[in-house]
A and B are shown apart, each in its own frame.
Chain A
């Protein structure tokens, strides 16, 4: 009996100790990571956490670091490539030790940025030169910088679409469906590939936001209105996805799709279309080369919606790089962030939109320029609130669950009615919005 008491005591003590440990991180508030005046004077060794394990392994990152050392000879850069980036970094951020430079995990609430990251300067100043500053700005100060941007769109096989007799980009969801039907009727290709099993490709549909209305305030409307209301952007997107599945324009067995295999399949013309993002183009072209197909067959088109005859595509930042507030070498870390964004050529290597406002568009988006697609950047002031509503409502616009359910309803694997389903999402969303502060 006595022994048991001691054990309980130890457990209690352990519990108290353990719970006392949380809530430690990020005490130093409002630190700045300032840019150095003289590159030769910046010194220190920094660790960069990155999700690009592929680039760490094949030595590309090391090459970037060598280039960086030409300008900043006294800084030593080490990379820490993390496969399960989101989950692992989230846990590491409970301590003070999460590298000097890291990509901001999406789980961090925007309002918490000042607790974890050093500020890179005011938005007013930085936005003159860079895109996407609004996505990490809190109270006028910027906490992260994306080295590149991308725009969502349909990757498609030009050869197949031409064989199906569709040469013009569809301008409405209805036209898009007609085009896919033509692909089904006239070719052997799968008209649209959901990548249902890989899950995250379905979350890409959320990036339709802004493309339908061509409104830079689309994110604010997401936070304040009903995204699945009559004119909600996500209703338009989800409705199109539903119709594609409902009319049998997808692969036979979505439950066992394979992301890696879908790349060569689209390149070879076994798949005609997939909704992804401009960042994916380079991967599909590489897959085409490997599979012996023509990389130039991979085309890219905007969402089928037009405002006054004009298509809009949103430019979104990739992961934002930030400087840890606990970094001992903030100057060196800042130097890396700036250099990587401006001089590394990372954006160009990935055929992406450069963060620098005056840089030219990547060659993938040349057809966009020719056809007058307007590239808009959404105002992300309400981005934090959208995330909070999303979590509170458990809808998960950035998770796969609800769209998997939608696809299941569409292919009759689950009972339900699409209108009820979308209305219910809207109801949960707007109710959660009431409980969430700004």
Chain B
């Protein structure tokens, strides 16, 4: 599903920053002179300076700024802004209709389940010897590389009356006379389908990587013991990739709650496809309620943090040890 590609680009930056933070310290055989010790103490920070500066400038400062705006009545451009305390938050929680859009997330959650199942299926098959397997890997991963805006436009043509989908179905002698984006259910299902198409590749690659990190001897041993393919999947692969699987689920859920670009480009939130982020964008840029929209964004962030925390509590991340 939409892998958290919205309000908080922090994940990517964090991930990029971490490996350096965790770099092993050089061994210190004996006490070095003061200057050298100082230099040694500084060295990791020198390496960290650039990523940290980027992280703070482009992630934490904007978030802090947004937090600050959420307590004001700023309209996004006026030189004047007033501090209004918690008014914005009170408004958000006293307007239940603002939360109704989360029902749309249900479609994307359901699609996430399909997506993970499909990705798991393909990853398992392609991790064994299959003809043209690299080609298939490429085909599956390719959609993830395309820009989301382009995907939106491509699929607008795809779903058009007499467009690609209709003509392909006509080839099979089935001539559906329906507007794919015409009703609430069909529009949401279509959009969720596009989402699956787009993010399947990412899940697939994650699973594939995890499966391939399982030692090959295990399969051989299992095969000698007469384990069927299903058994190998059930007792070796599934437990072996559990951490990646649970990460995917977390990303899917937070992604489903913050769906944005595909529905925004394709329908603009019309016909009951409006999501929480689209609604927030409208508040900020159409009605110039930047303060209120910032508060909404903060609320979304908190909801996602809460859901993730809950999930971690329910499904603890055990260490896997197959050997």
Contacts and interface: CB of A to CB of B under 8 A. Distances in A.
Interface stretch (A126-134, A157-165, A173-181, A393-401): A393-401
A237 to B, nearest CB: 19
Interface in B47-85: 56, 60-62, 64-65, 67-69, 74-81
Nearest to A387: B288
Interface stretch (B176-184, B234-242, B253-261): B176-184
Contacts of B143: none
A414 B77 CA distance: 35
A391 B285 CA distance: 10
Interface string B117-159: 0000000000000000000000000000000000000001001
Nearest to B285: A87
Chain B contact residues: over half helix, strand or loop, or mixed?
loop
B20 interface: no
A163 to B, nearest CB: 24
A108 interface: yes
Contacts of A90: 76-77, 285
A109 interface: yes
B282 interface: yes
Most chain-A Cβ atoms within 10 A of its Cβ — which of B62, B74, B78, B159?
B78
A392 to B, nearest CB: 8
Interface residues of B, number: 42
B282 A94 contact: no
A256 B156 contact: yes
B161 A396 contact: no
B286 A414 contact: no
B156 A109 contact: no
B81 A399 contact: no
A99 to B, nearest CB: 15
Contacts of B79: 23-27, 112, 115
A107 B77 contact: yes
B67 A256 contact: no
Interface string A249-274: 00111111010000000000000000
A413 B188 CA distance: 12
Given A18-B61, A391-B289, A413 B183 contact: yes
Contact of A404 (B161, B184, B270): B270
A254 B159 CA distance: 12
A396 B80 contact: no
Contact of A196 (B77, B270, B282): B270
Contacts of A12: 64
Given A254-B179, A391-B75, 19 more contacts: A11-B56, A23-B79, A25-B79, A87-B285, A197-B156, A197-B268, A253-B180, A255-B179, A255-B270, A256-B179, A390-B287, A394-B289, A396-B282, A396-B287, A401-B270, A401-B286, A408-B270, A408-B271, A413-B182
15 contacts: A11-B60, A26-B79, A90-B76, A93-B77, A94-B77, A107-B76, A108-B77, A112-B77, A253-B161, A394-B283, A394-B287, A396-B287, A401-B268, A413-B183, A413-B271
Interface of A: 10-12, 14-15, 17-19, 22-27, 87, 90, 93-94, 105, 107-109, 112, 115, 196-197, 199, 251-256, 258, 390-392, 394, 396, 399-401, 404-405, 408, 411, 413-414
